[in-house]
């Protein structure tokens, strides 16, 4: 019994160590309004990809600029209806550099 429990603990520790080294996928739902939503993610190699909903919210573009604290801000611009939900997939490889992602929503005319 002790050997089986020890083996299970070693397997869990091994999986936890492997998981920290590989890229993890985080999925979040953002309720987007006419201001912005800011997400902070601990990654230097951060990319955020929009998953379009049935109304096809359009990604207009993005900007990248550094902060004074050494972090980087990525801003995404969208076009669609106010209050629409945008599903964002976040990928981060586990690097300890803070990244702030701002999602700006531009209402359709």
* Domain edges within the chain: 23-107
The overall pTM is greater than 0.75: no
Residues of the chain with pLDDT under 70: 1-67, 69-109
| Residue 29 structure tokens | 């739902």
Q: What is the pLDDT of residues 74-98, one digit of tens each?
A: 666 655 555 555 444 444 444 333 4
Question: CB under 8 Å to 89, separation ≥6 — which residues?
Answer: 25, 26, 27, 48, 49, 51
């Amino acid at each position: 019994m002790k050997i089986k429990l020890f083996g299970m603990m070693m397997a869990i520790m091994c999986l936890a160590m492997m998981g920290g080294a590989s890229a993890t996928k985080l999925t979040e739902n953002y309720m987007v309004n006419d201001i912005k939503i800011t997400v902070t993610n601990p990654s230097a190699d951060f990319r955020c990809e929009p998953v379009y909903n049935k109304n096809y919210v359009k990604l207009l573009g993005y900007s990248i600029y550094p902060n004074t604290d050494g972090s980087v801000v990525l801003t995404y611009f969208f076009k669609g209806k106010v209050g629409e939900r945008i599903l964002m997939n976040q990928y981060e490889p586990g690097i300890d550099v803070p990244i702030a992602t701002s999602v700006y929503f531009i209402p359709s005319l």
